[in-house]
Chains A and B, each alone.
Chain A
């Protein structure tokens, strides 16, 4: 692979696909399928090429706008490569699921592919400008996909999504500009080095003064950066845009939003917020942990209160990503010794696994919702159904597996990440972990309720001949379910490649 700028090719590929899809009319989905398949193949190639020591591989560097500290600097480690695979996979699933787009298919699939490029770009960028470009690039197509193809109340949902994310982006940009003004650099690697030696704080303090309204400037900056990511993940109380956006977006788009885009937020925490502001995050870890626990518990409770399948899964996504936040902020709790280091490694491995697993499972869940809605012609409330197991056993079985994966049943992928997270967090912040267990319980209750209300009980008259999954759908779901089992049974497939990166990241973070 040497000599070929693989990461550039990977990012450019969906953009070219988008250009073709735009003019391909009703063949746009075929173009999108081919593009995303090629993207997945390339992402898997990248996954096999990452360095074994957890450092950045496949690095590409070129001067871009030196006077502004802007450099074309790409690279991936285990974290980035796993996110590339996940993005490619989820986009492929989303395109596969979107077989009923009759209105302007060229534009629809064009936007989906631009969104994929945004994901690829932001997961490979090692310079703030480049990263921010793709971060924003993914926002625009997401907005229009909701706005133009969404449900009845799509307008307000799309606007709310855009305004929240944009406000987060502005906070992020302002904070990062302050860092750039103080250091003259936008390079993640260099800034991480400076942060780990304490130089970053010195430079910022020297340039911007020591405090603002009673707080150190660095603390303000860390809050700004955190706000940007907190909206994207989302973290309570910045999550209010999410249920409307997830529910109103067409299901294939929701797959992208929750499966891949929400990971941009967690990834940003790991790649930018923690490396640069670890010390500041450690100072405010208690409120952050409280918010993370609130995200976990409130997400689960809110899911329990919903009647609409999409809203249930939307809130349950908030809950699942809350575990990632919990583990990340638990890393900031001071701890010394080999046991603590092992716990931190567990927690961080858990975060990265959870990102992948949640992406896969949540995308599959929304895919099932899309399949159900194809059959019902609209209704998707849990009280609209009952006894679907009889007319549609395969749907019930496969969706049941996915639901159990979401619940965190051992043997399925969802379990491994959450187990590692709790294994890591308990020794570090046991109160937070203990309260979060409540989230696990409520989630279990929610998922079981869904299974019961939709698949068991007496079947209403009108669903007596509910069509089961046809061959195409079974064929499409099989690899997804297979992957859930595979990761559940052999998590080392991912952990072995991610763990060196975890060690490498932890070694550079000075809380």
Chain B
């Protein structure tokens, strides 16, 4: 049934594009129906897949001469990320309820993006995975370029260029792997068992891993992320941070690590303590964690704070992957889910609930608005989201980052120590944004309340979206086994042999 998430989303996108123009309500409700249907399928697939390993959903020959199959399958990691995508899709539609410009086209691109993401998470054929990966880039560009705000053309172009450069690196690596393996299949499992030479893996792994990691926001290739997030319309930044960055991290794991496990082996020499690609990428990950957090601390634009926080939180995913141990990699996958939900919620609050009413994202201006009184719902939603983002216990971020830290500690204690600094700075920047944007102490000017127009009331889609995303983070934080029981066996299988 999980495969139908893909078909449903693409069919929904096609129908949206064909809907008559000017009927915004119809477009909205139809998009919501498709997204809810996708979430329903994702939940059903998640529940049905509990306790199962990798399950092939569909396997049809596609380009027989090259051994390309239309092969969709799902293991625990896929199921968790499909669930995340379903959640993000529903929340994205809810927070796009006020889009009036070319509504049906907006949702067509939106659903196409969702379909592509579902496709990546469920593909077990390299060629197919790459096709879905590319499909996801195109709607992203248009969502930002047409419906975006601050410097949208620049941001859209930057995002597209980074994505294409990353894709090109991936493509070169994959073609080389296909050619070198001599196998007549592009299936992930077959290639992983093809016994690629170690020397080949040594240069191919960093190529493919970096290609994917660009989209995961790995420092120093992260610069597309903050500008892209800020320029994107709310739903698109939610998807960008919530699921698109996960595509990159997922590619690193599913393709990079499982196809080229020997790429992580030691080089045989070490330079200033760095003796393997694993050390290199872990270093970049911890730098990203701390750098993203410090830069977030210095931002004056509310949305940039969240944008850089994504760089920092995604650093935990990459660090978790580089631990190469059970607990760290489980933490990485859980962090993908956790960050997807929390970042989506944060962008929704900043972009939709606050910005669409105040028309400013400057913290200095928000400070004078006393939003905790005028928009208490936004303030308290941000308190919850901020607590989750800080990694306070009881929210998904705590369990995920804790596992990554434990894993990193087991691998190399100093990774964990530096990343721990990033967590502390994370508390600081979240707290600073919360104080400035909602709970500032600046005395209101006496004319403020007469002159300032009343802010529009909070609408039901916003409340539903906040409850959905906040509830997901809380549920996973309070009872992490919901996801851990599914992730752990999949990670174990992946670590155990042949990548898959």
Tell me if B387 counts as interface (CB < 8 A to partner A). Answer: yes
Given A67-B330, A140-B383, A140-B387, A133 contacting B394 (CB threshold 8 A): yes
Question: Which residues of chain B in 398-428 are interfacial with respect to chain A, using CB atoms and an 8 Å cutoff?
Answer: 399, 402-403, 405-406, 409-410, 420, 424, 427
In the complex, are the beta carbons of A68 and B394 less than 8 A apart? no
Query: Given contacts A148-B372, A162-B431, are A67 and B488 in contact (CB under 8 A)?
Result: yes
- The residue of chain B having its C-beta at the shortest distance from the C-beta of A163 within the complex is B431
Residue of B nearest to A159 (CB): B435
**Please, which residues of chain B bring their CB within 8 A of the CB of A68?**
327, 399, 402-403, 406, 480
The reply on B439 being an interface residue by CB < 8 A is yes
| A-chain residues with CB within 8 Å of residue B479 when the two chains form the complex | 64
A174 touching B420, Cβ below 8 Å: yes
Rounded to whole Å, the gap between the CB of A163 and the closest CB of chain B is 8
B1 to chain A, nearest CB (A): 28
Interface residues of A in 83-114 (CB under 8 A from B): 104, 107
Is B151 an interface residue when CB atoms closer than 8 A count as contact?
Answer: no
Distance of B463 from chain A, by nearest CB (Å): 13
Counting contact residues on chain A (CB < 8 A from B), the size range is 20 to 34
In the bound complex, how far is the Cα of B439 from the Cα of A319, in angstroms?
33
Closest to B402 in A: A68
Q: Encode contact with A along B433-445: 1 for CB under 8 Å, 0 otherwise.
A: 0010001010000
In the complex, how many residue pairs between chain A and chain B have their CB atoms under 8 Å apart? Answer: 55
CB of B21 within 8 A of chain A?
no
Within 8 A of A (CB), among B464-484: 479-481, 484
Minimum CB–CB distance from A433 to chain B (whole Å) comes to 39
Given A177-B405, A181-B406, A181-B409, verify A65-B399 contact (CB < 8 Å).
yes
CB < 8 Å neighbour of B394 from A65, A67, A104, A137: A137
Whether B392 sits at the interface, judged by CB under 8 Å, is yes
Could you tell me the distance between the alpha carbons of A155 and B370 in the complex, rounded to whole angstroms? 13
Q: Which A residues touch B383, using CB under 8 A?
A: 140, 144
Q: Give Cα A172–Cα B327 distance, bound, in whole angstroms.
A: 22
A170 touches B424 (CB 8 A): yes
Q: Nearest-CB distance from A84 to chain B (Å)?
A: 21
**B residues contacting the other copy or chain, number (CB 8 A):** 29
Question: Which residues from chain B contact A70 at a C-beta distance below 8 Å?
Answer: 480
Asked whether, in the complex, the Cβ of A136 is within 8 Å of the Cβ of B409, the reply is no
> A65-B484, A67-B488 are known contacts. Are A147 and B439 too (CB-CB below 8 A)?
yes
Is A132 an interface residue when CB atoms closer than 8 A count as contact?
yes
Q: Is A166 an interface residue (CB 8 A)?
A: yes
Q: What separation, in Å, do the CA atoms of A133 and B403 have in the docked complex? A: 16
Contact with B along A159-197 (1 / 0, CB 8 A): 100100010001000100100110000000000000000
* CA distance in complex: A159, B434 (Å): 12
Does A129 have its Cβ within 8 Å of any Cβ on chain B?
yes
Q: Closest residue to B480 on the A side, CB-wise? A: A65
Q: Output the nearest chain A residue to B413 by Cβ-Cβ distance.
A: A208
How close is B110's CB to chain A, nearest CB, in angstroms?
Answer: 33
**Which residue of chain A is the closest to B395 with respect to CB atoms?**
A133
User: Complex formed: what's the CA distance from A159 to B428 in Å?
Assistant: 11
In the complex, chain B residues whose CB is within 8 Å of the CB of A129: 393
In the complex, chain B residues whose CB is within 8 Å of the CB of A133: 393-394
Question: How far is A159 from B488 in the complex, measured between Cα atoms in Å?
Answer: 40
Chain A nearest Cβ from B93, distance in angstroms: 27
Which residues of the partner chain B approach A147 to less than 8 Å between Cβ atoms?
A: 439
| Alpha-carbon gap, A177 to B401, bound state (A) | 12
- What is the chain A residue whose CB lies nearest that of B442? A155
- Give every chain B residue within 8 A of A132 (Cβ-Cβ): 393
Closest A residue to B487 using CB positions = A67
Q: Which residues of B contact A159 (CB under 8 A)?
A: 435
Complex alpha-carbon distance, A156 and B439, angstroms: 12
Q: How far is the CB of B335 from chain A (nearest CB, A)?
A: 14
Quick one: given A136-B393, A147-B439, are A67 and B420 in contact (CB under 8 Å)? no
User: Min CB distance, A210 to chain B, in Å?
Assistant: 15
Q: Are A136 and B441 in contact (CB under 8 A)?
A: no
Closest to A167 in B: B424
0/1 per residue, A103-137, Cβ < 8 Å to B? 01001000000000000000000000100110011
Give the one of A67, A140, A154, A180 with max B CB within 10 A: A67
Distance (whole angstroms) from the CB of B201 to the closest CB of chain A: 30
15 examples of A-B residue contacts, CB within 8 angstroms? A65-B484, A67-B326, A68-B327, A68-B406, A132-B393, A136-B394, A144-B383, A147-B439, A154-B441, A159-B435, A170-B424, A174-B420, A177-B402, A177-B406, A181-B409
The 3 closest A-B pairs by CB, nearest first: A155-B441, A133-B393, A65-B480
- Knowing that A65-B399, A137-B394, A177-B402 touch, tell me 17 more A-B residue pairs with CB under 8 angstroms: A64-B480, A64-B481, A67-B326, A67-B403, A67-B488, A68-B327, A68-B399, A68-B406, A70-B480, A104-B376, A107-B376, A136-B392, A148-B439, A170-B427, A177-B406, A181-B406, A181-B410
